[in-house]
Amino acid sequence: MADIDIEKRGKIAILTLNRPAFRNALDEAAIEVLDCFFDRPDPAVRAVVLRTSGPHFCAGLDLREHYEKNRSPVEFMRMCQAWHRAFDKMQFGSIPIIAALKGAVVGGGLELAAATHVRVAERSTFFALPEGQRGVFTGGGATVRVARIMTPARMIDMMIAARTYDVERGYQCGLAHEIVEEGEGDARAIAIAEAAAEHYDVTNFGILTGISRINDMSTTDGLFAESLLAGMVMTNPDLRPSLEKFFAKQAPRLEPKS
Ligand code: 1HE
């Protein structure tokens, strides 16, 4: 049984990686739980918080399991593909996932974080891809997801020069979207998830499945796909009362900073 707790709270689900003695390292069972959860999410769950127990977010691949299983190249490739499947379901699914980061977000832990949509980071957060130093390689999607966030050149530099980014540096290159004080990450992630859970389903669908996929497309295909998505989202009949509120000046006002 994987050490991931799942709590439903109103319209959101809170997933907790609960293996602090191993710095929440991800074994095969944990990836299986994530895959199952995001494969057919409960329709009542409108947003997810991904948090962890202990002072660290996640130390990546369970190196002990890896050592003990002594996998063949094909077995390891299949295991990587299982990570890719689970993380794809997260990134390209239509449920907003808010990560509460703290301490180590390293190796496969950074790959997991990169599959989430909003990353709130406590000041203790640090990012690294120590695979270079350990003589291993990324296998949970970093060459695609992490490289696209921080740029491939920065990712190569991080691995070759064995750099650890503190929270500020991670924020500057998009690994974190917001920095909060120690102990405040979970509450802030829950607040963001609860607000996102109130968005129209079809709007979240457009944002989450559209933007990542469109960025894999050519300009022509991307613009065409955007028009299709916008046609679906903007003609949602449920939108009309929201526009009427805006005309009546009853809609929440945009603040210059939030
Ligand atoms: C682990 C793991 C793990 C810790 N697998 N057991 N990832 C890494 O190379 C990161 C490896 N971990 C670390 O660098 C450090 O543990 C941390 C910086 C995350 C935290 O340091 P610290 O001082 O708080 O903890 P610690 O003393 O190093 O570790 C505590 C225990 O957790 C210890 O076990 P213990 O029995 O001696 O108490 C560690 O062995 C255990 N532990 N990390 C298994 N990762 C799909 S491919 C993905 C590629 C990868 O992710 S490669 C892994 C990269």
25 contacts 58 by C-beta, under 8 angstroms: yes
Phi/psi-derived region of residue 135, left when phi > 0, alpha when psi is between -120 and 50, beta in every other case: left
Query: Which residues, listed in sequence order, are joined to residue 61 by a DSSP beta bridge?
Result: 26
85 contacts 35 by C-beta, under 8 angstroms: yes
Q: Considering only CA atoms, which residue is closest to atom 28 of ligand 1?
A: 23
Active-site annotation holds for 184: no
Distance separating alpha carbons of residues 93 and 47, to the nearest angstrom? 11
Ligand 1 close to Cβ of residue 61 (< 6 A): yes
**What backbone phi and psi angles, to 5 degrees, belong to 129?**
-125, 80
Distance separating alpha carbons of residues 108 and 129, to the nearest angstrom? 8
In the chain, the domains with their CATH numbers are: 4-196 (3.90.226.10), 201-247 (1.10.12.10)
Taking only the tens place, the pLDDT of each residue in 125-184 is 999 999 888 888 999 999 999 999 999 999 999 999 999 999 999 999 999 999 999 999
Q: Considering only CA atoms, which residue is closest to atom 10 of ligand 1?
A: 59
CA Rg, the chain, in Å?
A: 19
Q: For tokens 């739980």, what's the residue? A: 33
The pTM assigned to this predicted structure is 0.95
Distance separating alpha carbons of residues 119 and 185, to the nearest angstrom? 9
Ligand 1 close to Cβ of residue 80 (< 6 A): yes
- Burial call 217-234: b when 16+ CB within 10 Å, e when fewer: eeeeebeeeeeebeeebe
Taking only the tens place, the pLDDT of each residue in 87-97 is 999 999 999 99
Ligand 1 close to Cβ of residue 23 (< 6 A): yes
Distance separating alpha carbons of residues 109 and 20, to the nearest angstrom? 13
Query: Ligand 1 centre from 153 Cα, in Å?
Result: 26
Q: Considering only CA atoms, which residue is closest to atom 25 of ligand 1?
A: 23
Ligand 1 close to Cβ of residue 57 (< 6 A): no
Ligand 1 close to Cβ of residue 62 (< 6 A): yes
Q: Considering only CA atoms, which residue is closest to atom 42 of ligand 1?
A: 22
Mean pLDDT of the chain: 95
Select from 230, 239, 80, 212 the least CA-distant residue to 148. 212
Taking only the tens place, the pLDDT of each residue in 200-234 is 988 999 999 899 899 999 999 999 999 999 998 89
Stretch 186-192: mean pLDDT? 98
Query: Ligand 1 centre from 57 Cα, in Å?
Result: 11
133 contacts 103 by C-beta, under 8 angstroms: no
Catalytic residue among 32, 131, 181, 255: 131
Taking only the tens place, the pLDDT of each residue in 51-79 is 999 999 999 999 999 999 999 999 999 99
Give just the sign of the alpha carbon dihedral 189, 195, 197, 200. negative
Active-site annotation holds for 111: yes
Q: Considering only CA atoms, which residue is closest to atom 32 of ligand 1?
A: 22
Query: Ligand 1 centre from 62 Cα, in Å?
Result: 8
Ligand 1 close to Cβ of residue 100 (< 6 A): no
Alpha helices, DSSP H, located in 59-165:
63-69, 73-92, 108-114, 131-134, 145-150, 152-160
Q: Which residues contact 33 (CB under 8 A, 6 or more apart)?
A: 2, 4
Give the three-state DSSP class for 141. Answer: coil
- What pLDDT, on a 0 to 100 scale, did the predictor assign at position 242? 86
Catalytic residue among 111, 122, 178, 255: 111
Query: Ligand 1 centre from 9 Cα, in Å?
Result: 31
- What pLDDT, on a 0 to 100 scale, did the predictor assign at position 1? 56
